Structure 1
Amino acid sequence: MKLFWIVTFILAACGGGSLDVPTSEIINDDAIVEVPSTGQPAPFASESNLEEPAPVEKKIRKSGNISFQSQDLDKDYAQIKGLLPRYKAYIENENQSNDQYRRNYQLSIRVEGAYFDSLLNAISALAWRIEYKTANIDDVTAQYYDFKTRIENKNALEQRYRELLTKANEIKDILEIEKNINEVRTDIEMMQGQFNYLSSQIQYSSLNVTFYEELPYAVNSAQKKGFGNRILNALSNGWNGMLTILVGFVTIWPFYLIGFGIFLLIRFLRKKVNKNP
């Protein structure tokens, strides 16, 4: 009986000991791993040193067309020329043509890309009646940097060939390297020409301007003034047409001689056949 009470007392003591563990000791492990919000560890060096790639500058090629009717052709032409210095533009080509109905101007203008829209709007403001207006924007960024990279690579390849040329001793090797250098140089010059042309189109946009002035009715329709004049014009045109036909007949006189000669020859041969049946 005593043994039973001793065992019971020991078990109670052990159980109570486990329950009497201080709360601070239980939380202690969590406190070790807890990190204050103000003391977060610094990010990895590889993440902090990562740099975003520099933005690529876009390369835009612009072109446009505008056609309009003018009330005063010479005045509008002078005003357009006066606008060009303000917008860093110049006339690359111009053509003037006249007929009995209208006078025309065709201008090919090159303008710095940044001023393209402003110049197009300024010319539009001068127009009396716009017939059509277009503006095209072509993103040639990929093409531009592709040309640039290929040219740089070709230049580097040429440089390596030239370094090898200084170290070559045998004639065969020298000739082979020089051949490769010439091929690379040809490729560079071809690509450089295309690159320069593309760069020029990017820097200076193209704007085609066409404008015309209708001539007055009295100038371009004189033959429509009245019935009598129209009759006289018809008679004059008929007489001129007949003269043209007569001149045409006279022009082919050698064929008349040839035909007459053939006729005489056939007649002679027939007579000869009839005499000798």
Structure 2
Amino acid sequence: MGRIRAVAGVVVAVGVLGLAGCGASGKGHESSGAAKQDSGETAAQPQAPAVGKPAGTAGQGNSAGATGSQGGDDPTITRAIVKTGSLTVEGDDVSAMRQKAVTAVAGLNGQVASEDTGSDPDGNITQSNLVLKIPTKSFETAIQQLSELGKRLQIHQDSEDVTEQVVDVASRIQSQRASLERMRVLMTKANTIGDIVSVESELTRREADLEALLAKQKNLALQTDLATLTLTLTEKGKPAVKTEPKKATGFLAGLKGGWHAFTAVFSALATALGALLPFLILLAIIVLPLWRFRHKLRRQPAGQQSPASQ
């Protein structure tokens, strides 16, 4: 009996130790699971601002990718704005104002696109019209500096958002280039003359479309990069007068003028004919039956005398 009790005691002790080990192992797993969960939450915390980002910011990020910044991590986008404006300034010395204006524009990396300057019989400049091309980012600064040349009489500004056009043209250019690559692959696989001619014709057409899109993209870039400002400098006390452009001369100018005169005369004749047509129709309806009836009366006596003479 004593041995049996001893063996039973040993078994009970081993069972207790086993249960304790399982409990410790379970606690260890729970601790490691909790640690993993904590680490997962800690790793996910830096991404929380991206999930909670405003919808407008996310939309800007998509637009930035569409504009050609593919592969960029910058979520912002620069809007494509075309700015135009006009400014009228008067002062005592128009010549000095003009020189200061040209200097100020050159300091802003701008340029004078066109100029129309008028003077009095003595040769003194009385008015100057300048069309200025100024970097868009310096447009407001240019207006402020040019307004300080004298007394500002008139100012007008206009802005047009062409971001959608820029994105659309960039996307179409990318698609057109991919299409050209596919056509070049087909060109290498063409065997018959008919296939070669057909592929070459389509390839030429698509290349022309791509060149047109590239030209449009360049034009949009110029419009968005450089704002247009029309500056009118006038002498103090005299109203600003818009000078008319000089009339062109030469053979082509004469041909163009003659064509305009011909079309004007033809248009006038067509208008007059259209105005008289209803009256002519009415006159024909009235006069034609009368003319036929009169002609019939003249021939009737001769017809009556012929039986008597017989």
Q: TM-score, normalised by structure 2?
A: 0.52
**What is the identity, as a one-letter code, of the residue corresponding to 2:88?**
S
Q: Is the 1:94–1:107 Cα contact (8 Å) retained in structure 2?
A: yes
Query: 2:258 maps to which residue?
Result: none
**What is the identity, as a one-letter code, of the residue corresponding to 2:40?**
A
Rg larger for: 1
Shift, 1:42, TM fit: 2.1
Query: 2:205 maps to which residue?
Result: 183
1:110 corresponds to which of 133, 136, 147: 133
Query: 2:40 maps to which residue?
Result: 42
Q: Is the 1:107–1:208 Cα contact (8 Å) retained in structure 2?
A: yes
Select between 131-140 and 158-167 the one with higher mean Cα deviation.
Answer: 131-140
SS at match of 2:111: strand
CA RMSD, 1 decimal: 3.3
The separation in 1 between residues aligned to 2:120 and 2:107, in whole angstroms, is 33
The separation in 2 between residues aligned to 1:134 and 1:116, in whole angstroms, is 12
The sequence identity of aligned pairs, in percent, is: 21
Shift, 1:187, TM fit: 1.0
**What is the identity, as a one-letter code, of the residue corresponding to 1:194?**
K
Residue-pair matches, total: 184
CA deviation digits over 1:242-268, x for unaligned, max 9?
xxxxxxxxxxxxxxxxxxxxxxxxxxx
Query: 1:60 maps to which residue?
Result: 81
Superposed, 1:78-97 pairs within 5 Å as 78-97=99-118
- Runs of at least 5 residues in structure 1 that lack an aligned partner in the other structure: 1-31, 217-277
User: Per the alignment, do residues 37 and 67 of structure 1 end up closer, same or farther by CA in structure 2, a change over 3 Å counting?
Assistant: farther
Q: Is the 2:89–2:149 Cα contact (8 Å) retained in structure 1?
A: no
Shift, 1:176, TM fit: 1.0
**What is the identity, as a one-letter code, of the residue corresponding to 1:42?**
G
Q: Is the 2:82–2:162 Cα contact (8 Å) retained in structure 1?
A: yes
The separation in 1 between residues aligned to 2:197 and 2:113, in whole angstroms, is 46
Query: 1:28 maps to which residue?
Result: none
The separation in 2 between residues aligned to 1:48 and 1:69, in whole angstroms, is 59
Q: Is the 2:112–2:131 Cα contact (8 Å) retained in structure 1?
A: yes
**What is the identity, as a one-letter code, of the residue corresponding to 1:126?**
L
User: Per the alignment, do residues 118 and 163 of structure 1 end up closer, same or farther by CA in structure 2, a change over 3 Å counting?
Assistant: same
The separation in 1 between residues aligned to 2:175 and 2:136, in whole angstroms, is 29
The separation in 2 between residues aligned to 1:157 and 1:39, in whole angstroms, is 50
Q: Is the 1:103–1:215 Cα contact (8 Å) retained in structure 2?
A: no
Query: 1:243 maps to which residue?
Result: none
Runs of 4+ aligned structure 1 residues displaced above 3 Å come to 35-41, 47-53
SS at match of 1:126: coil
